[in-house]
Amino acid sequence: MCNFTVRENGTEMKNPAYAVVFGSVIAVGLPLNALSLCILLCCHSLNSPSTVYMVNLAVSDLLLVISLPMRVYFYATGTWPLDNIACICVTMLFRNNIRSSAFFITFICVDRLLAVVYPLRSRHLRTSSKAWKAAAFVWLLVLAMNIPESVIFTRFLNTYPGPSCFEFQCPPRSAMAYIQPGLVFTMLAVNIVCTVMVSWTLNRRLNDSARVDNKVNVMLIFVMNLIMFTVFFLPVSMGVLIERWRPALTPLICLASLNCCLDPLLYYFSFDGFWRRKEDVDSSLGRE
C-alpha cells in the first residue's frame, strides 16, 4: 500500500541538477541526431540494412529528445503544468527509447556478425526489405507494450493527490517491469555472443570475400553496443523492478538518457571506409 502525501508546492520536487542533465542531453543530442539522420537519409542508400536500422535508431533518439524539455521544466520549477495524458506520453517516449534502441542496436550487431562471419551465405538475409520488416515489428511491439502500461499509469494518476509527474512516492509498476529487464538481458547476451564470434573471426586468417580493412573500427562498434546495454539500458531497467533501487531511479533515468548522445558515434564508426567497400562488394556479388 502507498501512503500518499500531497505536496503544497514544488520545492521538494525541484532538482536543478536533473534539469541541467536533461537540458545538456537536449543541447547535444538534438543537433547530433538530427544531423546524423539527415546524413543517413541523404548520403547513404536505404538499400543497406545497416542504414535502415540506424535511421530507425536516430528516430528513436529524436523522439526521446523531444520529450526532455518537459522534464527540464518539471525539475527546474518543481511543477507539472500539463494534464495526465501529457505525463503518460512523455514517460512512454522515454521507455520506448530504451526498448526500441536496444532492439535496433542488437539488429546492427547481428547484421555486422553476418557481414563479417558469413559474408556470402548471409546475402539473402541482409536485405533492406527484411530490415524494414524488422523495424516495423519493433515499433509495433513497442507500441503494444505501451497499452497495458498506459492503462495502469492512468489509473494511478487518477488516484494520486495533486498534479505531478515523474516523481512519485509509489510509482506504478506493470508486467513490463519484469518483461523489459528480461528483454534487455536477452539482447545483451546476443550482443556478447556476436562480439565473441566476430572477435574470433577477425583474429584468424580470413578469406578474400571476408577481408576486413579496419578491425579496430569493427570491434569498436561491438564494444560501444556492450557499453550501451551495461551502462545505459540495464541499470534503469533493473531500477524499475528492484524496490531498493527506487530512490536511485531518477539518476538512472538521467544516465540512460545520455545514450542518445553516443549513438552518433555508432553511425560514424559503422560507415567508415570498410563498410562502404563491404557494401560495394555485397552489391556487386548480388549483380553477378
Q: Which residue has the cell 548480388?
A: 286
How far CA 101 is from CA of 5, 83, 236, in Å, comes to: 36, 28, 14
pLDDT of residue 71: 93
Q: Is residue 252 situated within a structural domain?
A: yes
* Distance separating alpha carbons of residues 37 and 34, to the nearest angstrom: 5
What would the mean pLDDT of 55-82 be, rounded to a whole number? Answer: 93
pLDDT of residue 8: 43
Of 224, 232, 223, the C-alpha closest to 257 is: 232
Output Rg (C-alpha) for the chain, integer angstroms.
Answer: 21
Asked if pLDDT for residue 271 goes beyond 70, the answer is no
Q: Classify residue 123 as exposed, middle or buried by CB count within 10 Å of its CB (0-12, 13-18, 19+).
A: middle
Q: Is residue 30 situated within a structural domain?
A: yes
Out of 18-27, 45-54, 235-244, 271-280, least confident range: 271-280
Q: Is residue 86 situated within a structural domain?
A: yes
Range of the domain at 29: 16-161+170-283
How far CA 28 is from CA of 25, 35, 248, 258, in Å, comes to: 5, 11, 24, 9
pLDDT of residue 12: 58
Q: Is residue 247 situated within a structural domain?
A: yes
pLDDT in tens, 201-258: 888 755 444 455 567 777 888 999 999 999 999 999 888 777 777 778 889 999 999 9
Q: Is residue 6 situated within a structural domain?
A: no
The SS3 of residue 153 is helix
- Looking up residue 248, the CATH number of its domain turns out to be 1.20.1070.10
Q: Classify residue 153 as exposed, middle or buried by CB count within 10 Å of its CB (0-12, 13-18, 19+).
A: buried
* Distance separating alpha carbons of residues 90 and 71, to the nearest angstrom: 8
Q: Is residue 2 situated within a structural domain?
A: no
Q: Is residue 288 situated within a structural domain?
A: no
What would the mean pLDDT of 99-105 be, rounded to a whole number? Answer: 95
Q: Is residue 7 situated within a structural domain?
A: no
DSSP label at 208?
G
Phi, psi of 50 (to 5 degrees): -60, -45
Please state the domain count of the chain. Answer: 1
pLDDT in tens, 105-152: 999 999 989 988 888 888 888 899 999 999 999 999 999 999 988 888
* Distance separating alpha carbons of residues 165 and 157, to the nearest angstrom: 9
Cell numbers at residue 111, please?
Answer: 547484421
